[in-house]
Structure 1
Amino acid sequence: MVLVTGGTGLVGSHLLYFLLKKGVAVRAIHRKSSKLESVREVFKFYAEDPDFLYNSIEWMEADVTDIPALKQAFKGVTHVYHSAAYISFNPRHFQKLKKSNIEGTANIVNLCIEHKVSKLCHVSSIATLGSTTDGSLIDEQVAWNPEANNSVYAITKYGAEMEVWRGTQEGVDAVILNPALIMGSGHWRSGSGVIVNMVAKEAKYYTSGGVAIVDVQDVVNAMIMLMESEIRNDQFILAGENLRYKELLSKLAASLEVKPPSKLIPKWKLDLVRRLDWLSAKLTGSRRRLLKATVNSMYKESYYDGGKITRHLDFKYTPADETLARIGENFRK
């Protein structure tokens, strides 16, 4: 039996489909507030009968911070795909991030040890890696820098990795994946889906930064291949291509058949919008929509080397044009 955490997220829902396609017996945990319908919506992109596949999953209600429920979920489990995470760059959410990402991962690791799970696959983030000083591509050897201006999300995802490495010292075989910006179909209101929605509405502006991207199907393929391989206690960046934001948004616009962004917005101007957003939230209690960490990332060029996995496995990345074309086609359905 394979256990999947975060099964209702972008990575998790695509992972569930490809595991079921391979005939794997799958149990997936979900929080009470999770939208299970999002999984069925993703399955519709692949299958003529998404309900049959959806009903093949053994669903269990359990949060990664709920140890008694997790204990039930781990019964009979041999392999664990841990993709659940709380995502926020708001410093006010640090305690929630810490509880879900660090304590939640520690719970998963501890139960893997207790149940003698054969292998654990942990989905982390490129946010846990450091940066180069000479502009060269960032690879797995570029270590986390605790002195850098790290986001609260990055801090807790790094803490989660430390829990996984602890587990490897206590008998758990594990692999850690550090995906770049994950592009995929579905979940249009979160993650990269927000970018797709923004371009679909013919946003006029782009920023001067750059980003590494990876197809969600490549992430899932890497997860499954690594779990089925003899590779253990190792870490892999997943980054298919490095693109400037203007290029990424233009390619997305072409796939969506809309006008691409045409105006560069200077950082000072977006910073002003961010400050006004902060003031509005302070006065009205509304949710922050633009955070300092988000603005900084939009003007930063962070490029990554995802080649390590191609040297260890017969793995190939999907070209960005093919990924974005598929996303555009599915979004228009």
Structure 2
Amino acid sequence: MQQVLVTGGTGFVASHCMLQLLQQGYAVKTTIRTPDKKDKVLDMLRTGGISDLQHIRFITADLTSDQHWADAVADCEYVLHVASPIYLRVPKDPEEMIRPAVDGTLRVLKAARDAGVKRVVMTSNFGAVGYSHRDPATLITEKDYTDPNEKGLSAYNKSKVMSERAAWQFIREQGNGLEFCTVNPMGIFGPSLGPDLSSGFELLRNMMNGGMKAIPNLDLGIVDVRDVADLHIRAMLSPKANGERFLALAGGTMSLMQIAGLIKEKMPAIGGQISTKPLADWKVRLAAFLGNQKAKALAPMLGVNRKASNQKAISVLGWKPRSNEIAILASAESLIKYGAIK
């Protein structure tokens, strides 16, 4: 059996990557930050339908330390580097988020190179691609890069573009033949395999439980987590994927108002709690200026052009993503299933 390392095993995307790899007959290793996370990962895989768990192994490793990464990559043909450093708060100094992301990526790449891994697929994001794209008349593609010095760029997105650029530089200068590619998802929705819901669910939760009294003027590019995992595996296997980036989105965008309308229509039992009152951009920016944490998270997303192309993943890798609507409704169902919506 070929063995694949998936970093950050407790994560939303990583759990679906592991699920699909096991379903396809691979042996899987995964990294967890502390040994007590093992049961959480096993529960998620059982939820996904895996009953035979003999082909998954756990390594305790942290992106901020060199310890155990050699063990993690040993005997692995491929690495899906999905993990990203975790922060419970937005740091005042962006370097607190950027440095660990960059150093952690390089740590994984060095270990993979030294162990003779064939290919690393890195989970980057749209924040590394499209946040400096100014022309709404032309589609954003994988050729675009976000300027890390872009005004208003969040520390998280800056960490993503800096870590991806560092990875490409490492591959060029020190890769020694290590194959590499990236998957750059837009907003990731879809079904959760466990009750610890990813940050992407928070926006929907606020909308569905009535906490969002008015709807910001925000367009989202959307992709289902199941399709993100599928794209990672396609990028892992295809000879055409080496050295490439792949934007992951279902196609087109959905506004928050359209999402609110969709959930109200398809899930009428909870739809009555959802507002359809619009919220002006200036009110979001003012609230952010005055220190409102939710507004601070939303403000950098206002006015960003998200008209991007998914044609490269479709034409090069034969990828067939689910619709925006399917991804959103699957997330909404997970919020209800795990008791996040009363």
TM-score by length of 1: 0.87
For residue 239 of structure 1, report the CA deviation from its aligned partner: 1.2
Q: Residue in 2 aligned with 1:174? A: 180
Q: What runs of 5+ residues in structure 1 fail to find an aligned partner?
A: 279-288
The answer to whether the aligner puts 1:216 opposite 2:233 as a matched pair is no
Q: Residue in 1 aligned with 2:247? A: 237
Q: Residue in 2 aligned with 1:283? A: none
Whole-angstrom distance in 2 between the partners of 1:54 and 1:196: 32
Moved more, 19-28 or 130-139: 130-139
For residue 201 of structure 1, report the CA deviation from its aligned partner: 0.6
Whole-angstrom distance in 2 between the partners of 1:121 and 1:70: 16
Secondary structure of the structure 2 residue equivalent to 1:155: helix
Whole-angstrom distance in 2 between the partners of 1:71 and 1:15: 21
CA separation of 1:163/1:209 partners in 2, compared to 1, >3 Å: closer, same or farther? same
Q: Residue in 2 aligned with 1:262? A: 276
Q: Residue in 2 aligned with 1:25? A: 27
* Contact 1:129-1:140 at 8 Å conserved across structures: yes
Whole-angstrom distance in 2 between the partners of 1:314 and 1:199: 34
Corresponding letter in the other structure for 2:288: R
* Contact 1:4-1:26 at 8 Å conserved across structures: yes
Q: Residue in 2 aligned with 1:197? A: 205
Secondary structure of the structure 1 residue equivalent to 2:321: coil
Secondary structure of the structure 2 residue equivalent to 1:68: coil
Identity %: 23
User: 1:82-101 counterparts in 2 under 5 A?
Assistant: 82-86=81-85, 90-92=90-92, 94-101=94-101
Secondary structure of the structure 2 residue equivalent to 1:134: coil
User: 1:111-260 counterparts in 2 under 5 A?
Assistant: 111-130=111-130, 131-135=132-136, 136-149=138-151, 150-169=153-172, 170=175, 171-186=177-192, 189-202=197-210, 203-231=212-240, 232-241=242-251, 242-257=253-268, 258-259=270-271, 260=274
Moved more, 85-94 or 2-11: 85-94
Secondary structure of the structure 2 residue equivalent to 1:143: coil
* Contact 2:222-2:327 at 8 Å conserved across structures: no
Q: Residue in 2 aligned with 1:57? A: 56
TM-score by length of 2: 0.85
Q: Residue in 2 aligned with 1:284? A: none
The answer to whether the aligner puts 1:273 opposite 2:287 as a matched pair is yes
Moved more, 82-91 or 152-161: 82-91
Q: Residue in 2 aligned with 1:13? A: 15
Whole-angstrom distance in 2 between the partners of 1:295 and 1:46: 35
CA separation of 1:42/1:263 partners in 2, compared to 1, >3 Å: closer, same or farther? farther
* Contact 2:79-2:117 at 8 Å conserved across structures: yes
Q: Which structure 1 residue ranges, 4+ long, deviate > 6 Å from structure 2?
A: none
Q: Residue in 2 aligned with 1:103? A: 103
Deviations 1:163-210 (A, max 9, x none): 321343222101111100000222664322112322331333211121
Whole-angstrom distance in 2 between the partners of 1:9 and 1:307: 27
CA separation of 1:324/1:41 partners in 2, compared to 1, >3 Å: closer, same or farther? farther
Whole-angstrom distance in 2 between the partners of 1:34 and 1:312: 40
* Aligned residues between the structures: 320
* Contact 1:79-1:119 at 8 Å conserved across structures: yes
